[in-house]
Amino acid sequence: MNDLSFRIGLTPSSQCNYLPEQREQLGVVIDQEWLSPQGYQMLIASGYRRSGKAIYKPMCQQCQACIPLRIDCYLFQPSKSQKRQLKQMKKLRWEFKTELDVNWFTLYEKYITARHADGSMYPPNKDHFFEFSTADWMDSLFLHVYEGDQLIAIAVTDVFESALSAVYSFFDPDCTLSLGTLCVLFQIQYCRHTGRRWLYPGYQINECKAMNYKVRFQPHQKLINGRWHAEEE
């Protein structure tokens, strides 16, 4: 596994979940030997992502909107709003765990019902959650965030030797804190505490409001034409 030589299969073209006016097509890694933390670490650095057990990359014929992005946790400099959120973090307790708390599904159910009742994830289902968020070949941790004794957020996080990857997060929709941002800030802190430089938050899609928050974390790099470029907004 010294080079990026592998086979991919193309999914059928379908309507894009993020840009409805576009058509989506994914390239999915076929070769099983790449399905490991070591293999995926090489692939994520080349613009691939994981969904469940599958490693994929957008290969859309008419659209190049999905741009791989990674946050430099060593050099991270919080913005003014992120500094305020870092102060809020001091009131919270957070912990990375290998297993989910027993009451995790109550929080997940509340989140999906409030935020995604019109989507494919409704009604909430435990088996479906594990199918898209975890893989038996990947090392993952579950970030738990507590306000007092109350669980208010969870973020599924893939763990590499030199990086983390943010997979999926859910939180209490009634909480007034910016829990999505706070989960990223906790992941950045964990990277710094454990000597990991990079946090991969997923694809940046400028035209999709729900997906363009990632550029707020500075500094970051974008993968363009096969090379990572440092970029500051």
Q: Are the C-beta atoms of 167 and 133 separated by less than 8 Å? A: yes
| 20, 57: one domain | yes
Determine the Cα–Cα distance for residues 112 and 2; give it in Å rounded to an integer.
41
Determine the Cα–Cα distance for residues 167 and 92; give it in Å rounded to an integer.
22
| 24, 128: one domain | no
Determine the Cα–Cα distance for residues 175 and 89; give it in Å rounded to an integer.
14
| 37, 126: one domain | no
pLDDT in tens, 148-189: 999 999 999 999 999 999 999 999 999 999 999 999 999 999
Residue 199, strand partner residues: 71, 164
Residue 1 has pLDDT above 70, yes or no: no
pLDDT in tens, 49-85: 999 999 999 999 999 999 999 999 999 999 999 999 9
Q: Examine residue 2 and state whether it is found in any structural domain, yes or no.
A: no
CATH number of residue 86's parent domain: 3.40.630.30
153: left (phi over 0), alpha (psi -120 to 50) or beta: beta
Residue 233 has pLDDT above 80, yes or no: no
Query: For the chain, what is the mean pLDDT?
Result: 94
Provide the residue range defining the domain that includes 21. Answer: 8-67
pLDDT given at position 127: 97
Q: Examine residue 82 and state whether it is found in any structural domain, yes or no.
A: yes
pLDDT given at position 117: 86
Residue 100 has pLDDT above 90, yes or no: yes
Q: Within 10 Å of residue 206's Cβ, how many Cβ atoms?
A: 10
Determine the Cα–Cα distance for residues 76 and 70; give it in Å rounded to an integer.
11
With tokens 């707020």, the residue in question is: 216
Residue 211 has pLDDT above 70, yes or no: yes
pLDDT in tens, 38-47: 999 999 999 9
Number of domains in the chain: 2
| 33, 117: one domain | no
Last residue of a domain, one of 67, 82, 116: 67
